[in-house]
Amino acid sequence: MKVLMVCLGNICRSPMADGIFSHKVSERNLSSKIQVDSAGMISMHQGENPDFRAVSTCRKHGVDISKLIARPFTTNDFDDFDFIFVMDKSNYRDVIAMARNEDDKQKVHLLLNYSNPGSNAVVPDPYYGGMEDFEAVYKLLNDACETVLEKLIK
């Protein structure tokens, strides 16, 4: 099973989600069964490591995302992944706009809608915020990833 986390820049929310989800997969000894990656809808940060605030927030919780490298989302990702989890509605619109068919569209979910069906909740962009915003995003992602992983392995 392959899971892709997607946000705008691929330097804050989606690498955090990628690291948190991978950490949970590895704690459950499921690394051979479930693979996780992340991507962004803009290529501006391509090749960069995650934002230092994202790295530092994750490190505080025992999750190392320092070596992840940003890359843009591509149409091939619809073929390579089973689940594409997006952080907010603008990511959702952008990914859906690249879908080639109904099968592609079916793979795309707002992360927080998958963990809390019908909530339509989003993971807010912390890029222009402070450390407290990164901490709030960490908590949202940690809860969501826990619930999503439980659903996927049921």
- Does the active-site annotation cover 93? no
Using CB under 6 A as the binding criterion, the count of chain residues that bind ligand 4NP stands at: 11
9 lies in the site for ligand 4NP, by CB under 6 A: yes
DSSP assignments along 2-66, one per residue = EEEEEESSSSSHHHHHHHHHHHHHHHTT-TTT-EEEEEES--TTTTPPPPHHHHHHHHHTT---T
Q: Which of 12, 88, 125, 145 is catalytic?
A: 125
Q: Which of 25, 125, 141, 145 binds ligand 4NP (CB under 6 A)?
A: 125
In three-state secondary structure terms, 36 is strand
In this structure, what token pair is assigned to residue 149? 């992983």
Q: Which of 3, 4, 5, 8 binds ligand 4NP (CB under 6 A)?
A: 8
In this structure, what token pair is assigned to residue 81? 């992944």
- Does the active-site annotation cover 13? yes
Stretch that binds ligand 4NP, among 1-9, 21-29, 111-119, 145-153 (CB under 6 A): 1-9
- Does the active-site annotation cover 80? no
- Subset of 51-110 contacting ligand 4NP (CB under 6 A): none
